[in-house]
Amino acid sequence: MEEKKDKIVVKDLYKIFGPKPERAFPLLEQGKTKEEILEETGLTIGVQNASFSVREGEIFVVMGLSGSGKSTLIRMLNRLIDPTSGQVFVDDRDVAAMSKDELVALLRKDMSMVFQSFALMPHMSVLENAAFGLELAGFPREEREKRAMESLDQVGLKAYASSYPRELSGGMQQRVGLARGLAVDPSIMLMDEAFSALDPLIRTEMQDELLKLQAEHRRTVVFISHDLDEAMRIGDRIAIMEGGRIVQVGTPEEILKEPADDYVQAFFRGVDPTNVFSAGDIVRDQQVTIIRHEGGGPRVARERLISQDRFYGYVLDANRKFIGVVSVDGLKEIIKRDGDAAAMDSAFIPEARSVHIDSTMQAIIPYLTGSPWPVPVIDGDGVYKGAISKNIFLETLYRVDPTEADEPAADAS
């Protein structure tokens, strides 16, 4: 992923609404806020000083509350709104500086858009809607209908080709919107709150649909959303907007772990971190590990646990691969039973299972609840990485809850 080149590069992009927008620039330089500028000049700052890049083939989510400028931002990428200043490079060509004809050519070939309100043509059939982009681009009827049919097939709506949008449910209508966007086979898809108008169940279904389509054919997707769960679910990277500015760009994890400011943190109210953090994010290497070798038997192991005041020990082989979990009591029992012949292996707690480092916190819960010992975590090669205790797990939940974040979290972490 790191190797991917930038598909869209946005540089110093501004959109100021109102007559003579240049008037706002000196005020912005003085550090005046949006509200102050509106009061002084009547100008509305839509987007200010936005710079970011979207890598080829990734889903880039722009997130913000309503009025944060995200819709304006996405509309400047295809010039539904003309930027006041700044550049938008698509494949190194500046969209903001393009002539009308160049822009039309780019939009017909390289970019398509999916809208929150679906924006289907009520007077056209589903097939005609799906073929709309191709029709505008001047493809002959036969070819455009063939390609539209293929994209309808991709979203599972082939059977509805001759229906009209009003006859379909919201989810199906947005599938048509998606098919319309796919039919032109663009390298970039802009999705403006594409799933926000759908009810939660359908929304999740559509997110899966998008991920499925991405798996089949990677396109660069810029996705606008006000829903953090959605952003976390589908975004490879997320940009967070506030008051027309981009306040943070990063992977979902980076943002959740280190929110740039209170505004970003405010988004996390109500977000379930167990879907975002993985075992690797919360694992601690504080447990007693016991390397199994010829010299060290159960007695030594027991001594070490007692001296460290621990009840459970994690047995590894010479390569630090995880083998099993033993307890003080378990070791005592086999020593009593087998004496000097006691083998470490027979003291393993049979129910003790390790979890993979990439498992989500959500996936670990059943292991944690089922065992009094901290759950061991391994990587892809079976190497022990540490363990997760119930305490650590709860602490993580506690720490990311911003409502409590202020005072007590400080000593918890």
Judged by the rule CB under 8 A, the positions of this chain that interact with other proteins are 75, 78, 80, 103-109, 111-113, 115, 117, 119-123, 132-133, 135-137, 180, 184, 190
Reference 377, options 388, 390, 368; nearest CA is 388
CA 31, CA 27: separation in Å to the nearest integer?
7
Say how far apart CA 123 and CA 164 lie, in whole Å.
8
How far is the C-alpha of 289 from the C-alpha of 301, rounded, in Å?
Answer: 9
113 vs 301 by CB, closer to other proteins: 113
Task: Give me the least distance between CB of 109 and other proteins, in Å please.
Answer: 8
Q: Which is nearer to other proteins, 145 or 242 (CB)?
A: 145
Question: Measured from the CB of residue 212, what is the shortest distance to other proteins in angstroms?
Answer: 23
Give the nearer residue to other proteins in terms of CB position, either 64 or 186.
Answer: 186
We find the least distance from the C-beta atom of residue 61 to other proteins, in angstroms, to be: 19
Q: Give CA angle at 236 (117, 232), nearest 5°.
A: 65
**Residue 267 near residue 228, CB atoms below 8 Å:** yes
> What's the angle, vertex CA 275, arms to CA 272 and CA 281, rounded to 5?
110
**In the complex, least distance from residue 82 CB atom to other proteins, rounded to whole angstroms:** 12
- Smallest distance from other proteins to CB 188, Å: 11
- Token code pair at residue 79: 């010039």
Nearest CB to other proteins, comparing residues 59 and 106: 106
Burial zone of 243 (CB within 10 Å; 0-12 exposed, 13-18 middle, 19+ buried):
middle
Largest Cα–Cα separation, the chain: 91
Alpha helices in 2-83 (DSSP H): 24-29, 34-41, 70-77
State which residue, 74 or 231, has the beta carbon closest to other proteins.
74
Would you say 24 and 41 are in contact if contact means Cβ atoms under 8 Å apart? yes
Give 43 or 107: the residue with its C-beta nearer to other proteins.
Answer: 107
CB 176, min distance to other proteins, A: 12
Backbone dihedral angles phi then psi of residue 83, each to the nearest 5 degrees: -65, 150
3-class secondary-structure state, position 375: strand
* Shortest Å distance, C-beta 145 to other proteins: 16
Q: Which is nearer to other proteins, 4 or 226 (CB)?
A: 226
Return d(Cα 203, Cα 233) in angstroms, integer.
11
Q: Any idea what DSSP says for residue 284?
A: B
Q: Shortest gap between Cβ of 125 and other proteins (angstroms)? A: 13
Between 123 and 336, whose beta carbon lies closer to other proteins?
A: 123
